[in-house]
Amino acid sequence: MKALLLLLFAQLCSSSVVPEREKDPEYWRGQAQETLRTALRLQRLNQNVAKNLILFLGDGMGVSTVTAARILKGQLQNRKGEESLLEMDQFPYVALAKTYNTNAQVPDSAGTATAYLCGVKANEGTVGVSAGVTRDRCNTTKGQEVTSILRWAKDAGKAVGIVTTTRVTHATPSAAYAHSANRDWYSDGEMPPDALEGGCRDIARQLVENIPDIEVILGGGRKYMFPKNASDVEYPHEDKHRGTRLDRRDLVQAWHDAKPPGKVAKYVWHRRDLLALNLSRVDFLLGLFEPGDMMYELDRNNETDPSLTEMVAVAIRMLQKNPRGFFLLVEGGRIDHGHHEGKAKQALHEAVELDRAIGLATRLTSAQDTLSVVTADHSHVFTFGGYTPRGNPIFGLAPMQSDVDRKPFTSILYGNGPGYKIVAGERENVSAVDFAHANYQAQSAVPLRQETHGGEDVAVFARGPMAHLLHGVHEQNYIPHAMAYAACIGSNRGHCNAAGRPAAAATTILLPFLALLFLL
């Protein structure tokens, strides 16, 4: 049997699947030499001040997800896939980030968000607070609040924005503006009585009150902004989408009322209205396009809901109006949800859409003054393998059957999750199901209602001023410190002169003149 498997493998890997140009050794030598020339050009470091900062966060986008998304992107373009390049692949600097929370080996999205936004590692389930705060214990919060790079940018006079495909009160975006002992306290309707009595505020309220001059907020999460049982504007007859607020407040109105006199604040909930805005006449923008999280990209109603790329385009054009620059947080948040549900096709299409948004942002900005960073908060127990041949459909079968139960298996599998299925006492035969369906749940080794995060390091891709500071293996909380250093914001500004230029860059410019004076 082993010999037969090896023969099958050899046949599948035969020259018929190899592109003709790749048979020529000169193709690979030429490619390597071009890569070498690019690497040598990086010796001339970009030490400009980062006027703009963009942090792209793929929630749950571990390295295996990045690789699979790259293959999917290529196959969507009718290519084999493996040779394709994601937009993030073309960023010149790459690092690894250690994702553990202060109390968790395998982290959650709240503690990690506090790390890469606030620069401080924290306990799982908490946002915008130090590790001195225990999850669910409101009375441990006071005095333990930590501020984010969004706040540092705002304090420096920059415009700031948040774009996400989840609720705008979800773990990732909330760490940018909120301080909470529980990531799930989206509105006061989700808070226990002792937390309300203890004076803790829900995350939606903090979105409106803590930093009221955030210029752009785009994502989902309408229901947390409106009174309990208030009908949703888009789904008026669906109870699950009704408002959740016990205090009966309309936080969209409160958001509008908090703006300075003479400033124009626009709230939209429909794609048409978002794209029709004259951004030159808008100072503040709030867009909430679903009651909860936004729809998966594969399921999105492209009449009512904007894509992540469309939201990013609007956000950048809004923020670019500020002559001092901007900070923008962009989250592809539903990569994580797809994986939790065991729906790899949903997760990978979300990752491809995030990459599309990265490409657009790259075209709308310049690497001379914009530091762009792409990373993930954590990984997932998602994998693909099985000795698949070149160009194998990423959602396809491995080229062999199991030599134990004699059944086929998909290349994509999960270590645990809802895809564990036993039929007649045996593993389900996947050839009898539509494993290419968007909602197919890939098989898993251990049955769980929700698949879990993975604990390995995640990649950090960087491009622009001071991108070389992201290199090697770092603690995750290092990321905002490096970004702030590049932009001369936050507490570490000793390297910046009065004009905001890093001293190293200023010295580099002055060296030729100093040399000339010496010769004279």
What are the binding residues for Mg(2+)?
Answer: 59, 170, 172, 331
The encoded tokens of residue 53 equal: 């900062």
Q: Rounded to an integer, what distance in angstroms lies between the CA atom of residue 415 and that of residue 447?
A: 9
Q: Is 109 a catalytic residue?
A: yes
**Among 65, 158, 87, 156, CA closest to 490:** 156
What is the full DSSP assignment across 330-387? EEETHHHHHHHTT-HHHHHHHHHHHHHHHHHHHHHS-TTTEEEEEEES-EESEEE-S-
Strand-pair category, 382-384 with 284-288: unpaired
Q: Rounded to an integer, what distance in angstroms lies between the CA atom of residue 244 and that of residue 186?
A: 9
Q: Rounded to an integer, what distance in angstroms lies between the CA atom of residue 161 and that of residue 512?
A: 40
Rg (CA), the chain: 24
In the sheet with 382-384, reading across from the earlier edge strand, the strands are: 382-384, 412-417, 444-447
Q: Rounded to an integer, what distance in angstroms lies between the CA atom of residue 136 and that of residue 209?
A: 21
Contact 401, 431 (CB under 8 A): no
- The annotation places the binding site at 59, 170, 172, 331, 336, 340, 377-378, 453
The encoded tokens of residue 437 equal: 């369906």
Q: Could you tell me which residues are beta bridge partners of residue 161?
A: 216, 328
SS3 439: coil
* Terminal CA-CA length for the chain: 83
φ and ψ of 372, to 5 deg: -110, 130
Residue 495: alpha-carbon gap to chain centroid? 30
Contact 391, 71 (CB under 8 A): no
Q: Which of 109, 148, 187, 379 is catalytic?
A: 109
The encoded tokens of residue 18 equal: 């190899």
Q: Could you tell me which residues are beta bridge partners of residue 414?
A: 382, 444
- The annotation places the binding site for Zn(2+) at 59, 336, 340, 377-378, 453
Contacts of 457 (CB under 8 A, 6+ apart): 96, 97, 98, 99, 473
Give me the active site residues, please.
109
